[in-house]
Structure 1
Amino acid sequence: MEALHPDIERVLFDKEHIASIVERMGAEITRDYQGKDLVLIAVLRGAVVFMGDLMRAIDLPLAIDFMAVSSYGDRAKSSGIVRIVKDLDMDIKGRDVLIVEDVLDSGLTLNYLMKNLASRHPASLEVATFLWKDVAGKQAAVDPKYVGTHCPDAFVVGYGLDFAERYRNLPYIGVLKPEVYS
């Protein structure tokens, strides 16, 4: 296994486990979107690593685009205020849109994004999330069609996930030590 970064408490998913999850999700998406006009939309910046791997695991013609939606800033918890920092470059009207997300916790930001994209009249609109946090006593505001895996309600980083723009390049997903973000 890769060397553990000193700010990481423990590794949840190593790169081999991540690769197997992505391959499974790619096969599911390939099966479900046969003959469709698929557009993958990555939510920047966290989903960019997952998107790069996922699109190569989908054996279909597809288009990609990116959005940046901010609700965190450099804090550990969502600010609750959502703003579109970068909008789509393409028209999605009549196309089958799959939002590619790194992690789903409350789903409030993603719910806002889905309402925004639905107003643009895609043929379909679904979500593929790599991680779905198991938040005790709370139901996410969005029900994703594709889920890579569940993870504990901990502060996770690596494989595109960050804290204050750090740790995105770790080849695994790990739990950040609380003293780093508190």
Structure 2
Amino acid sequence: MENNFEKILVTNDQINKRIIELAHDINEYYKNTNNILMVPILDGSIVFAGQLIPHLNIDMTLKSTRVSLYNNNTSIDRSKINDVKIDFDLNLIRNKDILIIEDLIDTGNTLNILKNFFIKNGAKSVKICILFKKEINPRDVEVDIDWFGFLVPNQWIAGFGVDSKAKYRNFKHLGIVKKEFQ
């Protein structure tokens, strides 16, 4: 699989070390909080969340969600999103400190929609932890990111949960996908 990548941007060792640092910061922030709802966004954050959770020493509940963006069943122009489907039980949100876990931020649209959804439905607070933050300036939507692992170039990347056309989530590093495999 490594032959499908031009370059490794972040090694598995670097990722694992940074995840431990992120967990330490999150533990410190939430040390006096006992009503935390951690929400990994499917499918991308599965790998990241799976590595982060064992390092968290906080009182939390875990509930993943999926966010689907539709635009008349055609390719998505994210600036003109007509319908959003968020798979979530609203009873879990009220008065919770929510921690969204995501693998990557690029445009900011999905995170903005999800954060606003939680606030609108009674969350006490909403924080965001991202593993990879693409260097995009300006983003379609600016979203406050509370914790992030790595700033990465705005290129066709995949690995460690980040996909390229539903492939390479299981690649243990983050790399730039060769053009012929994008």
With the shorter chain as reference, the TM-score category is 0.7 to 0.9
- Secondary structure at the residue paired with 2:92? coil
Query: Does the Cα contact within 8 Å between 1:71 and 1:79 map onto a contact in 2?
Result: no
Q: 1:62 aligns with which of 60, 77, 90?
A: 60
Matches within 5 A, 1:5-154: 5-36=2-33, 37-71=35-69, 79-80=77-78, 81=81, 83-84=84-85, 86-88=87-89, 91-138=92-139, 140-154=141-155
Shift of 1:97: 0.3
Deviations 1:8-35 (A, max 9, x none): 1111111110001100000000000012
Q: In structure 1, give the amino acid aligned to 2:48.
A: F
- Secondary structure at the residue paired with 2:3? coil
TM-score, normalised relative to structure 1: 0.87
Instruction: Give the Cα–Cα distance (whole angstroms) in 2 for the partners of residues 78 and 121 of structure 1.
Output: 29
Flag the 1:90–1:41 CA change in 2: closer, same or farther, 3 A: farther
Task: Confirm whether residue 176 of structure 1 aligns to residue 174 of structure 2.
Answer: no
Instruction: Give the Cα–Cα distance (whole angstroms) in 1 for the partners of residues 89 and 98 of structure 2.
Output: 12
Shift of 1:171: 0.8
Shift of 1:137: 4.5
Instruction: Give the Cα–Cα distance (whole angstroms) in 2 for the partners of residues 6 and 90 of structure 1.
Output: 46
Instruction: Give the Cα–Cα distance (whole angstroms) in 2 for the partners of residues 49 and 71 of structure 1.
Output: 22
Query: Does the Cα contact within 8 Å between 2:69 and 2:85 map onto a contact in 1?
Result: no
Greater displacement, 12-21 / 80-89: 80-89
Structure 1 moving runs of 4+ over 3 Å: 136-140
Greater displacement, 22-31 / 48-57: 48-57
Instruction: Give the Cα–Cα distance (whole angstroms) in 2 for the partners of residues 140 and 83 of structure 1.
Output: 16
TM-score, normalised relative to structure 2: 0.87
Give % identity.
24
Q: In structure 1, give the amino acid aligned to 2:93.
A: I
Q: CA RMSD in A?
A: 2.0
Deviations 1:92-148 (A, max 9, x none): 211110100110112011111111111111111010001111114447520111111
- Secondary structure at the residue paired with 1:69? strand
Larger helix proportion, structure 1 or 2? 2
Unaligned runs of 5+ in 2: none
Query: Does the Cα contact within 8 Å between 1:51 and 1:100 map onto a contact in 2?
Result: yes
Q: Count residues with an aligned counterpart.
A: 174
